[in-house]
A and B are shown apart, each in its own frame.
Chain A
């Protein structure tokens, strides 16, 4: 199905327009003024959206891993691994933007915080997924084993990033007793830009996935 939507242009143009709106509107339109955050509150549209995109892509990866286990079609396995790769790209972008943001608001690039450590742990879990794939030569076996591991990796990612930080004390907004940004956005100024930005960045992530996927499918056909 992902292959089919790659041939339509309309959603790609929508993606470009929404991301431009997120950047231009995100910088020029008014935001709530808060201590410590000051103007960096606008990072909501660029840092948080990276994580939303990552979750979307890793969900696609999970869905195709499970679909692969149903009929052992290698194309589904290819979609699963490429989605995980692009998901890792957005995770790295989210991590780097978060670190820069932390330097100027918390005072350090990294803190010993459950959310940050959880993100690092999920990155390691998905890196192990790629290592596992590289360790096997037989295509069928590799696809099956990595599909099963994908399910566990997805669950662990959700636990490390979304569940555990909310159960303990964390400095990160939205976790461990800290207010999330929606409590600052009392008159919905930021949501006007945030929701379209999320959709725009998710579509960009999807576009990058379709390009990566089509390149990989072409390579596989040529090698065969």
Chain B
């Protein structure tokens, strides 16, 4: 009777350990944009956004200067 219980317990332990091993290898890291990074094209994204931002900020600077000249003229 005792022998049988030990055998069943051992079988359970082996099954549990085997499952944990299996699961540990199944879970992978979440996908990230490593393809874009590996072929260097991520810098294209950075470049595009920099161009857009530069354009917007140049517009703001020019507008700022125009307002300053008008304000000086009004004084």
Contact = CB atoms under 8 A, between A and B. Distances in A.
B42 A28 contact: yes
Interface stretch (A122-130, A135-143, A152-160, A206-214): A206-214
A156 to B, nearest CB: 31
Interface of B: 29-33, 42, 45-46, 49-50, 53, 57, 60-61, 63-64, 67-68, 70-71, 74
Interface residues of A, number: 23
A218 interface: yes
B49 A23 contact: yes
A39 B32 contact: yes
Given A33-B32, A207-B60, A19 B53 contact: yes
B5 to A, nearest CB: 41
Which one of B33, B42, B61, B64 has the highest number of Cβ atoms from chain A below 10 Å of its Cβ? B64
A12 B71 CA distance: 19
A4 interface: no
A178 interface: no
B64 A27 contact: no
B30 A34 contact: yes
Contacts of B68: 7
Interface string A31-45: 001111111000000
Contacts of A33: 29-30, 32
A20 B64 contact: no
Contacts of A16: 57
A177 to B, nearest CB: 22
Nearest to B70: A218
A214 B46 contact: no
Nearest to B49: A23
The 8 closest A-B pairs by CB, nearest first: A33-B30, A35-B30, A39-B33, A214-B67, A23-B49, A16-B57, A27-B46, A33-B32
A201 to B, nearest CB: 12
B29 A20 contact: no
Contact of B60 (A7, A34, A208): A208
B67 A12 contact: no
A34 B53 CA distance: 28
A24 interface: yes
B70 to A, nearest CB: 6
